[in-house]
Structure 1
Amino acid sequence: MLFNSLDFAIFLPIVFILYWFVFGKNLRAQNILLVLASYLFYGWWDWRFLFLILFSTVVDYGVGLALQREQRQARRKLFLLVSIVVNIGLLGFFKYYNFFLDSFVDAFSLFGSSFTVNRLHVILPVGISFYTFQTLSYTIDVYRRKMQPTRDFVAFTAFVSFFPQLVAGPIERATNLLPQFFKKRTFHRDQAVIGIKQIVWGLFKKLVIADNCAQYANEIFNNYESYSSLTLVLGVVYFTFQVYGDFSGYSDIAIGTARLFNFRLSVNFRYPFFSRSMAEFWRRWHITLMSWFRDYVYIPLGGSRHGKLLQARNVLIVFVLCGLWHGASWNFVVWGLLYGFFFMPSIFRTVNIHSFKNVTPRSLPSLRAFFEMSLVFAGIAFGLVFFRTPTLADAFAYLGKIAEFSVYQGMLGIYRYAFEMLPLLLLLLWWEWYNRNKEFPLFSAKPEYLRTGLVILFIVCLGNFEELKQFFYFKF
C-alpha cells in the first residue's frame, strides 16, 4: 500500500478513528489494532511477506528473552549470533544470493573456467533491509545491556511492523520506539495538526518534486547517448532531487503519520543540501541508517580511536557496506567506495556539523559557504550516476559523455525541461533555506492555514498524477 494511493487515503482515516475513538482508552487494544493494521498494510503488496516478518519477529523476541535469562557470556554470544545469522541470512538470501552467485561464476571465468549455475527467481520482500536493521538493533542493545527485553509480544510485534515506517524507515532503534508502545497515549489536536502538515509537506516533495524530476531524469538517463554533456548534467541534477524528494518525502509522511497516533519517530533528513562537507552531509542524509552503521559497525571496528589510517579503513568499510545495503550490484559497491573516498578529507580536519547555522542571520549564504555547499552537492550528484545506471559500463559511459563537453547535441529536445523544473527546485531550496533551523518547513511560516493551503494547491496543480509511482527506496 503506497502513501500516495487512494487505498492509503481510505485506510489511514479508518485506522485513526478506530485507534482514538473506539479503542482510545485501552492501550493493549490500540497496540493490537496497530499490529493488525500494519500487517494489512504490509500484506497489501504480497501476503507471503507476512510470514517472513512474523518469523523474524518471533526469533528476535525469543532471543531477547533468552539473553535476559542467560548470564554466561559465551551463551549470550551464541544467542546474539542466532539473531544475526537469521536476520542477515534472510536478507542475504533474498537480496544477495544471485549477486554473489554471479560474481562467483565471473571470478572463475577470469581463469578460463566456465560453468553454468541455476539462478533463483526470488521476490525481494518490500522493506526487508529496513526492518532487519531495526530488529537487529533490539537484540544487540539487549545483549549490550542497554535495554531490558520486553515480554509483551504484541508490543514487540507492533514495534517491528509499525506501518508508518515499516517499508522505508526511518530505521528506529528499539530504545526509542519500543518504550512508546507501553505509554498511555491520549489524543492531542495540536499533534494531529502537525502530523497532517508534515504529511502534506512530504506529499509535496514526492508528487511535485520527485515524480516530476523522475520523468525528466528517466528520459535523459535512458537515452543518454543522444544528449549533450549539459543535458546529462541536468539529468544528474534532476535525479539527485528525485531521490531527495522521494526519500525525504517518504520520511516526512511516515513521521507525520506516526504523529497522528502520538508516536515520535526519529528525524531522517536535516536539509542535507546545505552541508559544507561530506561528513556533515552524511549527518544530515538518511540519518538513521548512517547512525546505525556508526554504532553497530564503525565504533566496534575501532572508530577513530586508533589513528587516522585505521579510521579511514573503518570509514571505507562502512561505506562499502552502506552501498551493499542499498542493492546487490557492483554499481552500489563502487558508489559506496566513491563516497568513502570523498569522506577522507573530513577525517583530517575538524568539521562543524551545524555549519549552515554559522551564516545566520544572513538571508543568503556567504560566497565561501555557497562554494562549499555546491562542491558537496556536485560530489553527491556525481556519485549518484552509479546509483542510477544499471551497470558500471553505463555509469562510465554516461560520465564519459559528460566529459566530452558537448553543448548542442539533443538540446532542442530537452532544453524545455530546465525551464519547467529548475525554478521549482530553486523555490524548494529557498524555502528550505528560509526555514533551515526548523524541523520541517511548514512549522514556522505564517499565516498557518494559508501556507498549508498553498502547498496543497501546489500538489493539486503541479503533482504528477499520470500514474501511481511507488517510492524509490522501496526497492531496497
Structure 2
Amino acid sequence: MLFNSFDFALYLPIVFILYWFVFNKQLKTQNAFLVIASYVFYGWWDWRFLSLILFSTLVDFSIGLYLSKAKKVKTRKLLLWTSIIVNLGLLGFFKYFNFFIDNLSQSFHFFGQDMTFTGLEIILPVGISFYTFQTLSYTIDVYKGKLEPTKDFLSFAAFVSFFPQLVAGPIERAKHLLPQFYKNRKFDYAKAVDGMRQILWGLFKKIAIADSCAVFANDIFNNYETYNGSTLFIGALFFTLQIYGDFSGYSDIAIGTSRLFGFDLKRNFAYPYFSRDIAEFWRRWHISLSTWFRDYLYIPLGGSRGGTFQKVRNTFIIFIVSGFWHGANWTFIIWGFLNALYFLPLLLRNKNRVYTGNIAEGKLFPSFKEFRGMLITFALTLIAWVFFRAENINHAFAYLDGMFSASLFSLPEIRPKDVFVLIFVFFCVEWFGRDKKYALEYLNFNKYLRWLLYVIIIVLVYLFGSNSENVEFIYFQF
C-alpha cells in the first residue's frame, strides 16, 4: 500500500479510529490490532510474503529468549550466528541470488568456459532490507547485553511489522521502539497535530517535488544519447532532487503517522543537501542506515582506531557494503566506492567531524566558505547519484561522458521553469526550517497565515497528484 494512494487515504483514518476508540481498552488488544493492521498494510502488496515477516519475527524472538538462558559462550555465539545466517540468508536469496548467478556465468565466459547458470524468477519482497536489519539488530543487542530480551511476543511482532516504517524505514533499534509497545498510550492532540503537519510536508516532498522531478529525470536518463550536456546535467540534478524528496518524504510520512498512534520514530534526514562536506552529508542522509552500519559493522571492525591502513580499509568496507545493501547491481557498489573516495581525504586529515552543527548557525545566510563547501558537496553527490540511477555501469559512464562534453555549456533542451520555481520555494522553506526536525515543525506566525500555508500545500499536492499516476517510492525496491 502506497502512502500516496487513495487506498492509504481510506486505510489510515479507519485504523486510527479503531485504534483509539475500539481497541484502546487494553494494551495487548491495542498491540494485537497494530500487528493485524500492519499485516494488512503489507499484505495489500502481496500477501504471500507475510510469511517472511512472521518467520523473521519468530526466529529472532525465539533466539532472544534462548540467549537470556544460555550461559556458555559457544552456545551464545551459535545462537547469534543462527540469527545472522537466517536473516542475511533470506535477504541474500531474494535480493542477490540472480546477481551472483549472472556474475558467475560471466566469469566462466571471461575465462573461455561455456557455462551458463540459469537464474530464478524471484520477486523481491518490498522492505525486506529494512525489517531484516531491524530484527537482526535486536538479536545483536541482546547478545551484547545492551538489551533485555522480550517475553512479550505481541509487542515484538508489532515492533517488527509496525506499518508506518515497515517498508522503507527508518530502521528502528529495539531499545528505542520496542519499549514504546510496553506502555499504555493516550491520545495526545498536540502530538497528533504535529504528526499531521509532518505527513503533509512529506506528501508535498513526494508528490510535488519528487514525482515532478521524476518525469524529467526518467525521460533524460532513458534517452540520454539524444540530449546535450547541459540537459544531461539537468537530468542528474532532477534525480538528485527526486531521490531526496522521495525518500525523506517517505520518512516524514512514516514519522508523522507514528505520532498519530502515540509513537516516536527516530529522525532519518537532517537537510543533507545543506552539508558542507561529504562526512556531514552522511551524518544527515538516511541516518538510521548510516548509524546501523557504524554500530554493527564499522565499530566491530575497529572503526577509526588503529593505523592508517585499518582506517582506510574500514571506510571502504562500510561504504561498499552500504552500496551493495541498496541493490544487486555493480552501479550501487561503484556508488559506494565513489563515496568512500570522497570521504577518504577528510578521514586521512582527521577532518571528518569538523561540521557537527547546522550551517549558518544563528545567521540568515552562510559564509562564503560554507556556501562553497555546500556547492562542492552537492556537486560530488550529484555525480555519485548518476551511478545510483543508471541501469548499468556502461549507462553511467556514457551519461557522464555526455554530461561533461563541450555541450555542457550550451542551452539545455529541456527547461521546465515552473518546476524550478517550485524547487526554489521548497528549498527556501527547508533553509528557514533547517534548525528543526522537519521544515514545518514550528510555525509561529498568525494562525490564519498558517492555515493559508496548509491550504496552499494541499492544493499543490492535489494538483500535482491529479496530473500523474501514483509513483512508487524509490526505496521500495531496496
Q: Same fold (TM over 0.5)?
A: yes
Is 2:76 the counterpart of 1:76? yes
Cα distance change of structure 1 residues 315 and 464 upon mapping to structure 2, 3 Å threshold: farther
Displacement of 1:107: 1.4
TM-score w.r.t. length of structure 1:
0.97
Which residue of 438, 441, 453 corresponds with 1:451?
453
* SS of match in other structure, 1:282: helix
- Answer whether contact 1:198 1:255 (CA < 8 A) is retained: yes
Alignment match, 2:440: 442
Displacement of 1:358: 5.4
Cα distance change of structure 1 residues 374 and 408 upon mapping to structure 2, 3 Å threshold: closer
Q: Give the stretch that moved more between structures: 448-457 or 174-183.
A: 448-457
The one-letter amino acid of 1:148's match is E
* SS of match in other structure, 2:407: coil
- Answer whether contact 1:204 1:463 (CA < 8 A) is retained: no
Displacement of 1:360: 2.9
- Answer whether contact 2:94 2:125 (CA < 8 A) is retained: yes
Is 2:164 the counterpart of 1:174? no
Displacement of 1:407: 4.9
Displacement of 1:298: 0.1
* SS of match in other structure, 1:360: coil
TM-score w.r.t. length of structure 2:
0.96
Alignment match, 1:428: 426
* SS of match in other structure, 2:45: coil
Alignment match, 2:96: 96
Alignment match, 1:362: 363
Unaligned runs of 5+ residues in structure 1 are: none
Cα distance change of structure 1 residues 130 and 188 upon mapping to structure 2, 3 Å threshold: same
The one-letter amino acid of 2:126's match is V
Is 2:69 the counterpart of 1:58? no
* SS of match in other structure, 2:234: helix
Alignment match, 2:247: 247
Alignment match, 1:119: 119
State the distance in 2 between where 1:185 and 1:225 align.
56
Alignment match, 1:110: 110
Is 2:305 the counterpart of 1:305? yes
The one-letter amino acid of 1:273's match is Y
The one-letter amino acid of 1:331's match is T
Alignment match, 1:206: 206
* SS of match in other structure, 1:38: helix
Is 2:382 the counterpart of 1:384? no
* SS of match in other structure, 1:441: coil
State the distance in 1 between where 2:214 and 2:43 align.
27
The one-letter amino acid of 1:69's match is K
Cα distance change of structure 1 residues 207 and 464 upon mapping to structure 2, 3 Å threshold: farther
- Answer whether contact 1:32 1:154 (CA < 8 A) is retained: yes
Which residue of 460, 463, 475 corresponds with 2:462?
460
Displacement of 1:39: 0.3
- Answer whether contact 1:226 1:409 (CA < 8 A) is retained: no
Q: Give the stretch that moved more between structures: 245-254 or 464-473.
A: 464-473
The structure 1 segments of at least 4 consecutive aligned residues displaced by more than 6 Å after TM superposition are none
State the distance in 2 between where 1:99 and 1:92 align.
10
| CA shift digits 1:373-400 (9 cap, x unpaired) | 0111111110011111101001000011
- Answer whether contact 1:305 1:311 (CA < 8 A) is retained: yes
| CA shift digits 1:187-235 (9 cap, x unpaired) | 0111110000000000000000000000010011011111110110111
* SS of match in other structure, 2:270: coil
- Answer whether contact 1:276 1:356 (CA < 8 A) is retained: no
Displacement of 1:38: 0.3
State the distance in 1 between where 2:255 and 2:467 align.
23
Cα distance change of structure 1 residues 353 and 184 upon mapping to structure 2, 3 Å threshold: farther
State the distance in 2 between where 1:253 and 1:176 align.
19
- Answer whether contact 1:228 1:408 (CA < 8 A) is retained: no
- Answer whether contact 2:230 2:411 (CA < 8 A) is retained: no
Displacement of 1:409: 7.6
Cα distance change of structure 1 residues 128 and 420 upon mapping to structure 2, 3 Å threshold: same
Alignment match, 1:471: 473
State the distance in 2 between where 1:61 and 1:357 align.
40
- Structure 2 matches for 1:280-429, cutoff 5 A? 280-347=280-347, 348-352=349-353, 354=355, 357=358, 359-407=360-408, 411-412=412-413, 414=414, 416-417=415-416, 419-429=417-427
* Identity among equivalent pairs (%): 54
The one-letter amino acid of 1:178's match is L
The one-letter amino acid of 1:430's match is C
The one-letter amino acid of 1:336's match is G
State the distance in 1 between where 2:394 and 2:454 align.
45
State the distance in 1 between where 2:278 and 2:359 align.
17
The one-letter amino acid of 1:366's match is S
